[in-house]
């Protein structure tokens, strides 16, 4: 695989920092440029981040002295120096939509962690193991934008990154109704316990917009391409409650599920054990070898023990048992800033690179 030059838009933020640590030694992607708001532009990366560096790993040497670009004012300059950009910014939705399309129109593909384009019907929202075929919609999007190589592809919300993968191999049994309660880490809000001390010893029962995203986005992921659009699936029926909990990293979900054709417990465990997708077949650099991991122990998965499994790219599942109102219930966990954000975006970029969309 050739080396691709990449830029990170929103490089100073929580997800941007994750991109930097994940890409520092990436075999295919080489960081050549960093951008953020006008507040950071013109500063060295270390100065722009200041005390916000929240990664356990040290800041990689190669980025420390990079001079930051202004993500909006420098679009043409940025697009001319990179093969594509990763984007994770905290801006208004309409500003993000415009920013991402401006990069695409400057012939610079955008791999986005932002939610602004998740419901644009020719923008693929890809979980690489689940709906890699949605990359096919990129041709229709390029036609709409009038571009040769520029496009936007997005990652889904971090909340669903544990239960949608767990449900996907069970779709053959006719997943009918799903209830999921998520217990979400504070890094999902771009925060640490230092910057959000109110979260110590606390639970907050509201995360703005999260329940809507958690219920609607899976239906796009399970949707089909028809006439140049992604048409959302109409089933399963999903209802959620999303809570913020005092955990640094790792979103847990307690899931209840009913089926048209109720499988046995062994059939479900077999489906999880045997599930693999294109990232595993293509041996993409960030793909976990075993995507779905079932624990027999009653007290697993635990955020602290299991979120980093396979570099934070695997999903862990446990406590599968019969329920009195639904067919089954279980608990699952995924790392929200790795699989749920930057890592998932890097894996999507690897998939798109392997399929030739980033050439
Ligand atoms: N954290 C997660 O787990 C997670 C998961 C999935 C998706 N996301 C999404 O990823 C995005 C970033 O989240 P985050 O947690 O990394 O946020 P964050 O830590 O608050 O970082 C925000 C980033 O946006 C930049 N920014 C703010 N205003 C800007 C502007 N006008 N122009 C250009 N850049 C600007 C900031 O740059 P300055 O430093 O210059 O201000 C910073 O780099 C959000 O859309 C979020 O919804 C986050």
> What is the domain-level CATH number for residue 250?
3.30.360.10
Is 359 inside any structural domain? no
Instruction: Round to whole Å and give the CA distance between 256 and 326.
Output: 6
Q: Both 164 and 312 in a single domain?
A: yes
Half-sphere exposure of 197 (CA within 13 A, CB side): 1
First to last CA, the chain: 11
Tell me the torsion sign for CA atoms 270, 241, 339, 250: negative
> Catalytic residue positions?
158, 251
Is 23 inside any structural domain? yes
Q: Both 318 and 203 in a single domain?
A: yes
- 13 C-alpha to ligand 1 centroid (Å): 5
In sequence order, what are the residues at sequence separation of 6 or more whose Cβ sits closer than 8 angstroms to the Cβ of residue 339? Answer: 161, 312, 313, 314, 315
Q: Which of 34, 36, 66, 214 to mutate to test the pocket of ligand 1 (most atoms within 8 A of CB)?
A: 36
Pairing of strands 110-112, 224-226: unpaired
Query: Which CA distances in Å does 146 have to 102, 121, 142?
Result: 12, 16, 6
Q: Both 143 and 169 in a single domain?
A: no
Q: Both 116 and 20 in a single domain?
A: yes
Q: Both 166 and 148 in a single domain?
A: no
Write down the pLDDT at residue 2. Answer: 86
Q: Is 82 exposed, middle or buried (0-12, 13-18, 19+ CB in 10 A)?
A: buried
Q: Both 215 and 298 in a single domain?
A: yes
In sequence order, what are the residues at sequence separation of 6 or more whose Cβ sits closer than 8 angstroms to the Cβ of residue 355? Answer: 132, 135
Q: Using omega within 30 degrees of 0 as the cis cutoff, is the peptide bond preceding 102 cis?
A: no
Write down the pLDDT at residue 1. Answer: 81
Q: Splitting the chain (359 residues) into consecutive groups of 10 residues, what average pLDDT does each group show?
A: 95 94 97 98 98 93 98 98 97 98 98 96 98 98 98 97 97 98 95 95 97 97 97 98 97 98 98 98 98 98 98 98 98 96 97 97
pLDDT, tens digit, 9 for 90 and up, residues 152-181: 999 999 999 999 999 999 999 999 999 999
Instruction: Using the atom order of ligand 1, give the atom closest to the CA of residue 49.
Output: 39
Residue 90 near residue 190, CB atoms below 8 Å: yes
Query: Which CA distances in Å does 294 have to 265, 273, 316, 334?
Result: 12, 7, 6, 13
Write down the pLDDT at residue 29. Answer: 98
Q: Both 116 and 185 in a single domain?
A: no
Q: Both 197 and 152 in a single domain?
A: no
- 226 C-alpha to ligand 1 centroid (Å): 33
Domain residues for the domain of 16 are 4-157+342-354
Closest CA to 124 of 288, 359, 349, 356: 349
Find the residues whose C-beta lies inside 6 A of ligand 1: 10-16, 36-37, 39-40, 71-72, 88-91, 113-115, 158, 187-188, 190, 336-337, 340-341
Q: What is the CATH number of the domain that holds 105?
A: 3.40.50.720
């Amino acid at each position: 695989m050739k080396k691709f030059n990449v830029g990170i838009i929103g490089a100073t933020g929580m997800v941007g920092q994750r991109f930097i640590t994940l890409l520092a030694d990436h075999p295919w992607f080489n960081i050549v440029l960093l951008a953020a708001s006008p507040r950071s532009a013109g500063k060295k990366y270390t100065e722009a981040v200041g005390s916000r560096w929240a990664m356990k790993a040290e800041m990689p040497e190669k980025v420390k002295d990079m001079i930051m670009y202004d993500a909006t004012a420098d679009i043409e300059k940025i697009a001319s120096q990179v093969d594509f950009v990763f984007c994770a910014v905290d801006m208004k939705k309409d500003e993000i939509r415009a920013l991402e399309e401006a990069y695409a129109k400057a012939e610079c593909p955008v791999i986005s962690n932002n939610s602004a384009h998740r419901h644009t019907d020719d923008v693929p929202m890809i979980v690489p193991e689940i709906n890699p075929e949605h990359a096919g919609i990129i041709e229709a999007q390029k036609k709409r934008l009038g571009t040769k190589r520029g496009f936007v592809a997005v990652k889904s919300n971090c909340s669903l990154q544990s239960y949608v993968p767990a449900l996907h191999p069970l779709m053959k049994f006719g997943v009918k109704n799903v209830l999921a309660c998520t217990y979400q880490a504070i890094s999902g809000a771009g925060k640490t316990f230092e910057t959000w001390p109110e979260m110590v010893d606390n639970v907050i029962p509201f995360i703005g917009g999260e329940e809507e995203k958690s219920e609607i986005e899976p239906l796009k992921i399970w949707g089909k391409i028809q006439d140049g659009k992604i048409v959302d699936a109409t089933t399963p029926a999903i209802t959620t409650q999303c809570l913020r909990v005092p955990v640094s990293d790792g979103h847990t979900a307690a899931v209840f599920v009913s089926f048209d054709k109720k499988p046995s417990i062994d059939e479900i465990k077999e489906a999880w054990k045997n599930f693999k997708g294109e990232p595993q077949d293509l041996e993409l650099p960030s793909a976990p070898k075993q995507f779905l991991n079932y624990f027999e122990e009653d007290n697993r998965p635990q955020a602290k023990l299991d979120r980093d499994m396979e570099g934070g790219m695997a999903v862990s599942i446990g406590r599968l048992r019969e329920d009195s109102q639904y067919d089954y219930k279980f608990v699952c966990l995924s790392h929200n800033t790795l699989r749920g954000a930057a890592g998932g975006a890097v894996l999507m970029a690897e998939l798109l690179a392997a399929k030739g969309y980033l050439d």
